[in-house]
C-alpha cells in the first residue's frame, strides 16, 4: 500500500484530483467540439425538414421524441444510457410524459451525460462518433447515436502516500478499490471519504486527502495522498 512521498508543494485538497493525461478544462472543450462535429441531421429524402404549420398559422410545435437508439454499445446497456438523458423516448407506461426535441443544443447536453457515465465506469476514451435525427413526420423524430466505447481502464495498483502509520494500517482493510477491478469514479470517491474519516478517527481532524490517477494504456495507478497535519487531542472538559 505504501507509495513514494508527495513532492514538496504538491497540491492537497479534499475535492481536487490530479490526472496525468491532461487538463480537465481542455478535455471538456475538446469533447464539446467533438460532439458538435458529430451532430448532423438525416431527414427523409436528404433535405432539411420544412417547418410544420400549426393550426391557425401559429408557431409550429417541436416534434416529439419517438425512439432513442444507440449503436456500438456492448459494455453498458442502452437502457442505462437512456436513463442519463433528459430526453425521453415514447413509452406506453408513461403516456402523459412527452419529450419534445428542440434542437441539437439540447441533445449535446444529453450526450455529455452519456459520456460522463462512460468515464465514470472506466471508459475514459469513449466518444460519440455520430448522431442522426430522423424526422418520421412533422410530429415525431427518432434519435440514433453511434458510440465508440474504447477499452475499459482497470486498476493496476491502489496505494496510500504520506499517511501516518496507524492510518495506513487501517486503510488496508477499509478501502474497497482493489487492483484488477474496473476503474469506477464513484467507488474511488467513496474510498477517499473513508480515508478522510479514518484520519479523523485517529485524531487528525485537519487532515486532507487528495486522489491522484496515473494512466498507463488501459490501466491506472491510484494514489491517495494524505496531508495529515497535527494530531488533535481533546483536553479536559469542564461542565
Label residue 121 by pLDDT band (50, 70, 90): very high
Across all residues in the chain, what is the average pLDDT?
83
The pLDDT value given to residue 61: 85
Domain extent for 141: 24-49+60-148
123/181 same-domain check? no
What pLDDT, in 10s, does the model give residues 75-118?
Answer: 999 999 999 999 999 887 677 777 999 988 999 999 999 999 99
pTM above 0.85, yes or no: no
Residue 37 pLDDT exceeds 90: no
Neighbouring-strand partners of residue 27: none
Q: Which residue has the cell 513514494?
A: 4
The pLDDT value given to residue 95: 74
Q: Is position 237 within any domain?
A: no
Q: CB-hemisphere CA count at 13 Å for 117?
A: 20
Split into its structural domains, the chain has a count of: 2
Q: What is the DSSP string of 17-40?
A: EEETT--HHHHHHHHHHHHHHHEE
Residue 49 pLDDT exceeds 50: no
109/128 same-domain check? yes
170/139 same-domain check? no
Amino acid at each position: 500500500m505504501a507509495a513514494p512521498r508527495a513532492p514538496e508543494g504538491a497540491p492537497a485538497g479534499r475535492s481536487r484530483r490530479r490526472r496525468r493525461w491532461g487538463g480537465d478544462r481542455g478535455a471538456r472543450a475538446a469533447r464539446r467540439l467533438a460532439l458538435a462535429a458529430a451532430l448532423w441531421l438525416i431527414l427523409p429524402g436528404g433535405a432539411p425538414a420544412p417547418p410544420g404549420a400549426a393550426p391557425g398559422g401559429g408557431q409550429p410545435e417541436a416534434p416529439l421524441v419517438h425512439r432513442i437508439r444507440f449503436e456500438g454499445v456492448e459494455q453498458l446497456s442502452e437502457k442505462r444510457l437512456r436513463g442519463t438523458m433528459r430526453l425521453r423516448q415514447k413509452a406506453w407506461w408513461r403516456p402523459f410524459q412527452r419529450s419534445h426535441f428542440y434542437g441539437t443544443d439540447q441533445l449535446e447536453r444529453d450526450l455529455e451525460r452519456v459520456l460522463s457515465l462512460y468515464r465514470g465506469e472506466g471508459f475514459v476514451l469513449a466518444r460519440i462518433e455520430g448522431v442522426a435525427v430522423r424526422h418520421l413526420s412533422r410530429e415525431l423524430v427518432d434519435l440514433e447515436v453511434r458510440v465508440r466505447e474504447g477499452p475499459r481502464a482497470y486498476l493496476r495498483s491502489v496505494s496510500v502516500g504520506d499517511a501516518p502509520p496507524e492510518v495506513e494500517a487501517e486503510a488496508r482493510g477499509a478501502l474497497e478499490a482493489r487492483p484488477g477491478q474496473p476503474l469506477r469514479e464513484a467507488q474511488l470517491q467513496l474510498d477517499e471519504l473513508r480515508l478522510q474519516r479514518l484520519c479523523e478517527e485517529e485524531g487528525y481532524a485537519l487532515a486532507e486527502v487528495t486522489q491522484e490517477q496515473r494512466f498507463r494504456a488501459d490501466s491506472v495507478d491510484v494514489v491517495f495522498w494524505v496531508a495529515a497535519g497535527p494530531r488533535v487531542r481533546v483536553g479536559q472538559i469542564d461542565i
